[in-house]
Amino acid sequence: MTDDRFMRTRLLLGDDGIENLSKATVMIAGLGAVGGYALEAVARAGVGRLLLVDFDSFDITNINRQILALNSTVGLKKTDVAAARVREINPSCQVIIKDMFINKESLNELLAETPDYVIDAIDTLGPKCDLMEALQNRNIPFISSMGAALKTDVSAVRMTKLSQTRNCSLAKHVRQNLKKRGVKIEDIDCVFSAEQCKMKHQAVIAGQDGKKSTLGSLPTITAVFGLMMANEVILKLAKGK
């Protein structure tokens, strides 16, 4: 019997588009609120090889916004849960998991997998900038998520170049950091929210990497970030770009 799981996508993108997606390798760095939704979309689009990178496990506080976080997955490794979900969506997809922290030392191993496109859903400044710098230096196409916390207006979420972002604290720090490294921020695609943030609620919680400030966020906004990035990647890969 014919496998029709990608029939609707084939009708839109054509046989060539589906073929291009099936041969593509996409790396997703960060499998949390934004990266989880990006993963969901590229898996359902028929991307044939996925490199999934995260060092963390699910916590009960993730359930409000992370598609992979459930009562049944609390305490489990994000990479393991993500891989299992992809195989349920598309058993033919080759899934490579890297349960590791992204930094300068681990990037050579990760990028040796030669991804065709990278979705950067990291929310920590240093590792994020390390990854972005390495990808640009290697001419690997990528798109990055900026800050989704404290945002409530879905209509303010948009895709642009990093140099054109505004009203986003994370984007500001990323721009400053990358400029010092000599990275061309005008060439970097990203998703950000132009909403002027007024809410300041935060809490300090203990995580695997010590205490950190945690900001409030909505499942709707983080999902839109992830889906917008995935949409861009799917369309470009389908066209063979």
186 occurs within a structural domain: yes
| 162 and 175 Cβ atoms separated by less than 8 Å | yes
2 occurs within a structural domain: no
- Please name the residue ranges forming H helices in 90-218: 104-111, 125-137, 169-181
| 115 and 88 Cβ atoms separated by less than 8 Å | no
| 56 and 50 Cβ atoms separated by less than 8 Å | no
| 36 and 145 Cβ atoms separated by less than 8 Å | no
- Indicate the pLDDT class of residue 207, thresholds 50, 70 and 90: very low
Nearby residues of 61 by Cβ (< 8 Å), 6 or more positions away:
205, 214
Tokens of residue 91, six digits? 């058993």
The count of domains in the chain is 1
1 occurs within a structural domain: no
110 occurs within a structural domain: yes
Tell me: pLDDT of 1 over 80: no
| 76 three-class SS | coil
Query: Cα–Cα–Cα angle for 119, 121, 125, nearest 5°?
Result: 125
User: Which pLDDT belongs to residue 212?
Assistant: 55
In tens, the pLDDT along 76-131 reads: 999 999 999 999 999 999 999 999 999 988 999 999 999 999 999 999 999 999 99
User: What CA–CA distance (Å, rounded) separates 107 from 131?
Assistant: 7
Give the closest residue to 171 by CA, choosing from 153, 156, 189. Answer: 189
Quote the domain boundaries for residue 98. 7-238
Number of other residues whose CB lies within 10 A of the CB of residue 22: 17
In tens, the pLDDT along 143-182 reads: 999 999 999 999 999 999 999 999 999 999 999 999 999 9
Residue written as token pair 């930094």: 103
119 occurs within a structural domain: yes
128 occurs within a structural domain: yes
User: Which pLDDT belongs to residue 200?
Assistant: 57
206 occurs within a structural domain: yes
User: Which pLDDT belongs to residue 211?
Assistant: 44
CATH number of domain containing 25: 3.40.50.720
53 occurs within a structural domain: yes
